[in-house]
Structure 1
Amino acid sequence: HVYKDLKDNNVYIIDGGSCNYGIESTVVKIYHEEDSTSENPHIKLLILRRGGVCETELNAFISEFKTSNKTMKITTECVEKKHFTEESHKMEAPGQFLRHYAPDLPSYMLAGQRLDGSEESQLPLEISKCVFLDFNKENIDLKSKVLLYLDLSEHGDYIEAISRVYDYLRISETQKEGEMVIIADLMNPSSTLDEGSSHKEHSSALADRLFRAVSGNS
């Protein structure tokens, strides 16, 4: 997606091949807690941006590290799911603005529901003019009704969804007849949407990107 976004600009792009996850790096702020001393250090790790290294993997590394550093206390914390930085403020980490990943079409995320016939009439425009981004075939019945139906992962694989998310957002905004992008609710996935899914430890990173793609709208 970097090449597609910048190919018309006078820039050089170093291509090191595909990365494992297709998403930006995890950004962690490291600092001493107030009760930290030189004899008994207390280190706090605050995850500012969820990325390729998930919280589970980070905690596993910390547990291994602490076995050889028994005097050091290390705690981890992650910013809230819907955390964002106002654009008038300085960012602590990249990708914190609410509209950071927003496509050039109005975008919304379903709020804890599937979109069936009863909700179609509540949309501010015809569903046939919408691009729908789904996950795990949760809303497969909409495929014939919307302008374009894309499933981030038909098999419910969060890593696969992460690898597709930027390309699918770009495809969405290039639809000439498209007037809106609707995304399945991945902030609060239903039991059916999450059924049989894999690599759930990366679900928060995907949800974070999509929350910013819709600018917090639902």
Structure 2
Amino acid sequence: MLIEPSQLLLFMLAGWLLNLTPGPDVLYMVSRSLRGGRRAGFAALAGIISGCLVHVALASLGLGVLLATSATLFTVIKWIGAAYLLWVGVRLLRNTGESTLQADVAASSGSAGSFWQVFAGGFLTNVLNPKVVLFFLAFLPQFIAPSVQNKPLAFALLGLIFTVNGLPISAAYVLAADRVRSSRWAARGLQWLDKLAGVLFIGFGLRLALTARPVA
């Protein structure tokens, strides 16, 4: 048995609580939804989910352990991820008026190219954060039943369950932001929301840059 029945509910509840916690992924989804509506928000969500699946695959194949134990690899990925978050933050701070996040507006009208642009942003926001794979390495094993023989397969399945389990929370963020977007004051406040999102992205980037590799 992959996971004890008594542990499954605890696993799902923990997953919901963790997905409720704001971070770069949530901020990216919300900011895209506020600008481009639910289409842009779900494009961002699809990119983030794809990034999560990459992390699950890496951890299942044992490559996540390499990241956790290699100071050089961890540092390289950490700095690339931090630089990307800082770049997104600075871009948001420098955006003005109609030029702000045009890809989101185009994505809301169904433009395939813009959909993939927003998708790519979500994917990079997630996949360039080494803390995600380290989280999976620390969180998932404690829920795998001791009797399981194929640990990598069990890890991959639990990672998939965790990712799918978080979809309702992520979708709720997207839909809530889309609803706020349609309110009367939203048009006047979008530029200020961009500035706030920019500051938060810079904060997340700095926090990632200052993250030390966990010592085994």
Q: TM-score, normalised by structure 2?
A: 0.23
Higher normalized strand content (fraction of residues): 1
Q: Which gives a bigger RCO, structure 1 or 2 (Cα 8 Å, sep 6+)?
A: 2
Q: TM-score, normalised by structure 1?
A: 0.23
Higher normalized helix content (fraction of residues): 2
Larger Rg: 1
